[in-house]
Amino acid sequence: MSAFFERFFGDFLQSREYQEITLSNPLDMHLHLRQGAMLESVLPFSARDFALGVVMPNLNPPIMTTALALQYRDEIVRLSKGLDFVPFMTLYLHENLDKGELTHAYAQGIRILKLYPRGATTGSENGVREVVSERILEILHVAQDLGFMLSIHGESNGYCMDREFEFLEVYEFLARTFPRLKIIIEHVSDRRSLESLERYENLYATITLHHILLSLDDVLGNLMHPDLFCKPMIKTPKDRDSLLACALSAHPKVSFGSDSAPHLQSKKYSASAPGGIFSAPIALSMLASVFAYHNKLENLQAFVSDNAYKNYELDSVLGDTHKVIKFCAQSWEIPQSIACENSAISVLFGGKQCVFGRISK
Ligand code: DOR
Ligand code: ZN
């Protein structure tokens, strides 16, 4: 564990006095909720802390039609009843999407298309073979006219540590070709992506908790931790620090997206571990802790809500939702895992003390 972490979970979290923190409508702009038993296990953590979550469509089968998205949305609404949580649905972009389906999706309130390059990550088997191809550009043209946003898992199929960087030329090409399409660089992991944000007005980004706190050293610098393995891979300390600085400054084009991505320990602790970090149970309290540690609490509301509210035009979606989440100094031990099916899901930073705790309503 890096020196930063020793300090963070050591002195700081044990000794400081905290002021109370109040957040209004926290938003998780990148969230994997899964389906079936796993959905039931993980959903309460996000629904309790966040007013809205952008729900990823990489299920099995993927959410490739409006009908599937609406069915999935209904299921989430049913399971989160009483928690004041809005699932903001995404549609899995594939080569057979046509104008009729896109028009229907938009009319039903779906605002985000999610593009996975085929083979890039979990559930991307049905993703796009060639992003810059006639068919995909046609679809994006229609999407732009209808008013969709485009969310991208941007990785090439090159060397794993360079994949996001190599994909930047595709982001920039799309940003130039579709100037009215808002494009989101999801889960930024490489500091060079931040420079692209400055070059194109219509490029935006989400940042996770794990990419601002960890470097590859934490994943496999000593013992190997499959629970910290994710896509895009966690990179160098320099990348981590640039992303952290970007989040702490609440860059207006950047919002929080946890990319909380649960996998059963039975899969994670096997010879072929899937990428994904389950952070939903701690995401908001850890963010509060990190911003407090760096004396930047005044920027947390923008990072975790206001920026997204504006950039994703959420006023009509959230209506008069007013979810107020308060934290105070209240030490609690992060659970190692939560039970699920016949296995368990490891929680990020399980076993450590978190000093910020939710004040229940
Ligand atoms: O680490 C990841 N896990 N990255 C992704 O892009 C997908 C996610 C998942 O669904 O497990
Ligand atoms: Zn994701």
Indicate which residue's Cα is closest to atom 7 of ligand 1. 122
Task: Tell me, using a 6 A CB cutoff, whether residue 231 lines ligand 1.
Answer: yes
Dihedral (C-alpha) 31, 332, 346, 349: value to the nearest 10 degrees? 80
CA of 59 to the centre of ligand 1 (A): 11
* Degrees to nearest 5, angle at CA 156 with 150 and 157: 140
Which tens digits make up the pLDDT trace of 56-92? 999 999 999 999 999 999 999 999 999 999 999 999 9
* Residue 84 annotated to the active site: no
Say if CB 290 and CB 9 are below 8 A apart: no
Which tens digits make up the pLDDT trace of 38-49? 999 999 999 999
Q: How sure is the predictor about 230, in pLDDT bands with cuts at 50, 70 and 90?
A: very high
DSSP conformation class of 98: -
Which CATH class for the 3-359 domain?
A: alpha beta
Q: Does the structure show a pLDDT above 80 at 11? A: no
E strand or H helix at 332: strand 324-333
Q: How sure is the predictor about 293, in pLDDT bands with cuts at 50, 70 and 90?
A: confident
CA of 123 to the centre of ligand 1 (A): 8
Q: Where are the domains of the chain?
A: 3-359
What's the one-letter identity of residue 276? G
Other beta carbons within 10 Å of 273: 14
Strand pairing class (343-346; 27-31): unpaired
- Give the mean pLDDT of the chain: 95
The gap from C-alpha 166 to its chain's centroid, in whole angstroms, comes to: 21
CA distance 295 to 323: 24
Which tens digits make up the pLDDT trace of 169-196? 999 999 999 999 999 999 999 999 999 9
φ, ψ for residue 255, nearest 5 deg = -130, 165
Retrieve residue 315's tokens. 């006023």
Q: Determine the average pLDDT of the residues in 140-165.
A: 98
Q: What is the pLDDT of residue 28?
A: 99
Q: Does the structure show a pLDDT above 60 at 1? A: no
Ligand 1: which of 153, 186, 259 to mutate, judged by most atoms within 8 Å of the beta carbon? 259
Task: Tell me, using a 6 A CB cutoff, whether residue 58 lines ligand 1.
Answer: yes
Q: Does the structure show a pLDDT above 90 at 18? A: no
Please identify, by atom number, the ligand 1 atom nearest to the C-alpha of residue 116: 6
CA distance 148 to 158: 29
Task: Tell me, using a 6 A CB cutoff, whether residue 153 lines ligand 1.
Answer: yes
Q: What is the pLDDT of residue 272?
A: 96
E strand or H helix at 346: strand 343-346
CA distance 114 to 101: 15
Q: Does the structure show a pLDDT above 70 at 26? A: yes
CA of 284 to the centre of ligand 1 (A): 19
Which tens digits make up the pLDDT trace of 310-320? 999 999 999 88
Please identify, by atom number, the ligand 1 atom nearest to the C-alpha of residue 56: 10
Active-site position among 11, 259, 306, 320? 259
Ligand nearest to the CA of 278: 1
